[in-house]
Every structure is written in C-alpha cells, then in structure tokens.
Amino acid sequence: MMSVNLKGRDFLTLQDFTKEELLQILDTADYLKMQSKFNKNEKLLEGRTLGMIFEKSSTRTRVSFEVGMHELGGYALFLSPKDIQMGRGETISDTAKVLSRYVDAIMIRTFSQNIIEELAREGTVPVINGLTDDFHPCQVMADFQTIREKLGRLEGINFTYIGDASNVAHSLLIGGAIMGMNVKMISPKEFSPKEEVVNLAKEFAKKTGSKIEVTPDVTDAGKDADVLCTDVWVSMGREEEREKRIEKLKDYQLNQTILDRANKDAIVLHCLPAHRGEEITKEVIDGPQSVVFDEAENRLHVQKAIMALIIE
C-alpha cells in the first residue's frame, strides 16, 4: 500500500503534504475500514502509545482516536489540562521533550496553531493536529474519504461551504485545492477565511487546475454544488459572541432551498456537533442527502490511517 514513506512525519496542516501523500492516507483509510467491517483489524501499532492532549473537549476526537489506537493494537493516554503540567505553567518545549521520552506520538486538540507547531518542533515524536483555531486537518481527511465513497472521486468536485469560515473551512480550502476540487466559500466578510489561507489555496489551485472562490453573496448558494457543507456558527471559546454571530449569519443557513439548487446527487456534510435551526435545518441534516454520520464514522478510519502511516 505504501508508495511513499510517511514514518516520523507530523500531521499539522494539509499544506505539508502532496496530493500523492494525501491519497495514500485515504487509500489506507479505505483498507482499514474494510478490515474493521470484517473484524479483521491488523495490530499495526502493537506496543505503541499515543499521548492525547485535550485543551478543548470533544466527543468525536477523543473517542475516534482512543478506539482507533485500540483497534491498531496500541494504547491511547488521555491528558487534560488538569492531568499535565502544561496546563499549569510548564513550557510547551519541556512538555514536548518529556512526552517524547514516554510516548510514540502526540495528538493535541488546542487553541493556537503556534502551540502545536512548537510541540512538533521541540519534540522528537510525530505530532497530530486534533484541532486548532486555524486548522482541522483530520476532519477534512474524513470529509474527503466520505466524498470519495459517495461520489467516486475528488478531482473536479464542486464543493460549496456556507457559513462561518473557521478552522474546518481553512483546511477545506487548502486540502480541496491540493486534491483538485473546486472550492467555493460563502460567508459574510466578517466571517470569511483568512486572506493568507485563501492565497495559499489559490497557489495550490494553480497547480491542480481547480478553482477557489470566496464570496459574501448567498444569492445562488448551492448552484452546481456536488457537496454542501457548513459548521457551527459559535465555535468553542467564542460563546460570548453568540448573539452577534447568529444575527450576522442568519442568512447563511444551509437549508432546503439551497440544497434544491445543488446537483441532484449532491451530498451534505457537517463535522458536528450541529445546532439544528441555526447553521443547518433539521430537514437537511436529517434528510436523505445528508451523510454526516458516515462522515463522523470516517474520522475513526482516516485517523487510524494517519497513525499507522506516521508512527514508527
């Protein structure tokens, strides 16, 4: 299965990987998913330990990494800010160096991208980005696996994201461009993706021949879309902005009107948790074109692939 060697690599952002490397992760995820369905999990990481640092809580990230490590024959160690000294003033550098002596890889779900970059720089074991305020690469790889399963390809897919362009949107822009997808982001200017991320995505798009579009115009949202996607309007840590965000984003809801404008076989993605009636309507997320629970399951398989490929 391995056309390129990813052993020892960090998994921080999708921009660090080539199309061939990302496809290898997806192919491995498909293989491991098939194994799982037949209860034939290979113990590829027997005797290995994953340290999981959670400065932000999560249902899917914790359970999928913990179960994934178990299925691969390894052990996952949950570390909250209350469990380690990094939450009480120990430097990131010291934490990275100490954990590198104990575990074979580190997964961290945190706030600043700078934290995860320093952890990777100062440690000697692979670091996996479980989520930061800027990027969510594991989620987007699960999205890509789901799209391939449902639509048969990634290249040339018209992907439309509507709403608050947060960490998921940033990773979708970069990853989509690398994979040759046409990515359209529809957000109010105040909640648009960061300019440097858009520019980077456009550079990748030049090489793959794909298109990147960022617009506040919601008028034709859904038109020609193969995939429609959204995310919560109020992300963790921004609860104090709730009323303001809901007011500004109320016209950017993924609803049946938008879905009806999409291609007839279009699918709907949402990384969850979802707030029905806010960023997406119940009839859409619970409707026949929604694949959000397949998407959630694929977090397990794609993260197993990432761990199997990078942990030495």
Render pLDDT for 177-225 as a digit per residue (tens, 0 to 9): 999 999 999 999 999 999 999 999 999 999 999 999 999 999 999 999 9
Average of per-residue pLDDT across 157-167: 96
Residue 30 pLDDT level (bands cut at 50, 70, 90): very high
3-state secondary structure of 11: strand
Residue type, 216: P
Report in angstroms the alpha-carbon separations of 4 from 33, 84, 199. 20, 35, 28
Looking at domain 14-135+298-310, which CATH architecture does it have? 3-Layer(aba) Sandwich (3.40)
Residue type, 179: M
Render pLDDT for 130-153 as a digit per residue (tens, 0 to 9): 999 999 999 999 999 999 999 999
Closest by alpha carbon to 115, among 125, 103, 127? 127
Average of per-residue pLDDT across 275-304: 98
Cα separation of 288 and 263, whole Å? 14
Catalytic amino acids? 109, 136, 139, 231, 271, 299
Render pLDDT for 222-250 as a digit per residue (tens, 0 to 9): 999 999 999 999 876 667 788 889 999 99
pLDDT at 234: 83
Highest mean pLDDT, choosing among 1-10, 76-85, 259-268: 259-268
Q: Is the pLDDT of residue 18 over 90?
A: yes
Q: Is the pLDDT of residue 273 over 70?
A: yes
pLDDT at 182: 98
Q: Are strands 227-230 and 158-162 parallel, antiparallel or unpaired?
A: parallel
Highest mean pLDDT, choosing among 3-12, 119-128, 238-247: 119-128
pLDDT at 13: 98
In the chain, which residue ranges form alpha helices assigned H by DSSP?
19-37, 60-71, 92-102, 113-122, 137-151, 167-178, 195-208, 242-249, 256-261, 282-285, 292-310
CATH topology of domain 138-295: Rossmann fold (3.40.50)
Numbered ranges of CATH 3.40.50.1370 in the chain: 14-135+298-310, 138-295
pLDDT at 126: 98
Residue 57 pLDDT level (bands cut at 50, 70, 90): confident
- Count Cβ atoms within 10 A of the Cβ of residue 35 and give its class: 0-12 exposed, 13-18 middle, 19 or more buried: middle
Residue 87 pLDDT level (bands cut at 50, 70, 90): low
Percent of the chain at pLDDT > 90 equals 91
- Count Cβ atoms within 10 A of the Cβ of residue 19 and give its class: 0-12 exposed, 13-18 middle, 19 or more buried: middle
